[in-house]
Amino acid sequence: QIRESATLTRDVLEQHFNDLKGTLKKLLDERLMSLLQEVDAIEQESIKPLDECQKLIEHGVSTADDLLRDGESAVNGDVGQQNEKLCSFTKKALHIQLDSLPEVPSLVDVPCLSAQLDDCLLTILRNQIFRHGTVASRPPVQLEEFVEKPGGILVRWCKVDDDFTPQDYRLQYRKSTASHFEDVYVGSETEFIVLHIDPNVDYQFRVCARGDGRQEWSPWSVPQFGRTTLVPHEWTTGLEGYSLSSRRNIALRNDSQSCGVLYSKAPTYFCGQTLTFRQVLSGQLIETVGQPDRRDSLGVCVEQQNGYDSLQRDKAVCISTNGTVFVNGKEMTNQLPAVTSGSTVTFDMEVVHLGPSSNEGGSFKLRVTISSNNREVVFDWVLDQCCVSLYFGCSFSYPGWKVLVF
């Protein structure tokens, strides 16, 4: 583990600093090009009037040279042509203003380019570079526990660095045959149920954290493998009145007039586990569009019994949408909050051992805990047979209810 993580850390550092070198060179080249273009622009703009002034002066000097040659020719010419040449020279001289010069900019108005390069940039960069990056020998969070769930794994992690104040956690996983991790949770909780897990297949998990008020994530925890041997919960297919998702773990009460109880495909709920009903789409847990009915219910039962329109019957425990708890069809006095949009309902059961004769003569007892909206009821469910695996079910009279089970 030490050698593997050290090799990986070296590779990450080398890649990061090589990327920084390339980026810094690109930024410096771009800045140099920008300054050179600025020099070119100032040079072209400032030299233009001076070039024009120079051209005017050179034109005046050339005109004066031509006039001087004409004067010399008139003086040195034949006597017969002398008067004519002198007359032409005089007229030409009168039309040329040899005593005028173009306005030349004063020296203080002429730009003198120079480059101002502040050496403090090197100091700033040096200080920033020397503080850039750290090597952590121990990540501030580590994976703590994996709990098998039907078709899922409950992953728990904990903070191991007392000086680290976490703001968010980030959990990733991948199948053992996959090459890349993918995000499965980002938030402030220290546990998360990863669903859609294939049974008896190894998955690798890792977690990191983000410090309070910071943007960068901490180093990853040591990757660990987890798996579940429990098959996922599935609703029974083919019941008119309910539409199922592709994985058959989400049931939607459609607008069919048919009524009845939708059961699980098999008795996959075992005592000692937690059975949870929730809705997975918009963050809501159980969502209803239609109005509730007194027969609506969620719960568990010993066996599938067709012909009923509710789980409020013998050999079943359930909670109705108004929060009433039914045990073997009888209403309990304890009341839970109504099941509405945003609710969570969980069932926990354990076998109560009454002694050597507890399973003789028709008495088998389960300790049942039903939780809804941070409240719970606890009671003993007496059955006439030994039963450690149960069916689950739901019944809704009106369309719009959508329930995920896991």
- The reply to whether 278 falls in a domain is yes
Q: How far is it, in rounded angstroms, from Cα 323 to Cα 319?
A: 6
Helix 2-76 vs helix 79-95: angle between axes, to the nearest 10 degrees? 140
Domain C-terminal end among 112, 131, 150: 131
With b meaning 16 or more CB within 10 Å and e meaning fewer, what string describes 178-208? eeeeeebbeeeebebbbbebeeeeebebbbb
Residue from 327, 328, 340, 311 nearest 377 by CA: 327
Q: How far is it, in rounded angstroms, from Cα 15 to Cα 6?
A: 14
CA separation, residue 323 to residues 26, 396, 402 (Å): 66, 14, 17
The predicted structure's pLDDT at residue 284: 38
Report the sign of the C-alpha dihedral through residues 304, 306, 307, 309, in that order. positive
Higher pLDDT pick, 269 / 93: 269
Instruction: Report residue 98's pLDDT band, with 50, 70 and 90 as the boundaries.
Output: low
- The reply to whether 233 falls in a domain is no
- 121 and 194 both lie in a single domain: no
Strands (E), 122-164: 141-149, 152-159
Residue type present at position 365: K
Number of domains in the chain: 3
CA separation, residue 5 to residues 143, 158, 272, 342, 389 (Å): 17, 21, 38, 43, 44
Pick left, alpha or beta for residue 118 (phi over 0 → left; psi -120 to 50 → alpha; otherwise beta).
beta
Residues 103-130 have pLDDT tens digits of 666 666 677 888 888 888 888 888 888 8
Q: Which residue range(s) make up the domain with 162?
A: 141-228
- Assigned token pair, 138: 């121990």
DSSP string, 328-379: TTEEEEEEPPP--TT--EEEEEEEEP--TTTTSSS-EEEEEEEEETTEEEEE
Q: Is the pLDDT of residue 283 over 60?
A: no
- 377 and 249 both lie in a single domain: yes
Number of H helices, E strands in the chain: 3, 21
Higher pLDDT pick, 97 / 225: 225
- Assigned token pair, 199: 């049974």
DSSP bridge pairs for 168: 210
Domain C-terminal end among 68, 98, 131: 131
> Could you count the other beta carbons within 10 Å of the beta carbon of residue 284?
16
The predicted structure's pLDDT at residue 304: 92
Q: How far is it, in rounded angstroms, from Cα 180 to Cα 157?
A: 21
- 264 and 374 both lie in a single domain: yes
**Element housing 389 (H / E):** strand 389-395
Higher pLDDT pick, 326 / 82: 326
pLDDT > 90 in the chain, percent: 40
- 204 and 317 both lie in a single domain: no
DSSP bridge pairs for 208: 170
- The reply to whether 277 falls in a domain is yes
Instruction: Report residue 8's pLDDT band, with 50, 70 and 90 as the boundaries.
Output: confident
- The reply to whether 136 falls in a domain is no
Domain C-terminal end among 201, 228, 255: 228
- 271 and 389 both lie in a single domain: yes
- 45 and 148 both lie in a single domain: no
Q: Is the pLDDT of residue 200 over 70?
A: yes
CATH of the domain at 288: 2.60.120.920
- 219 and 248 both lie in a single domain: no
* Residue 84 C-alpha from the chain's centroid: 98
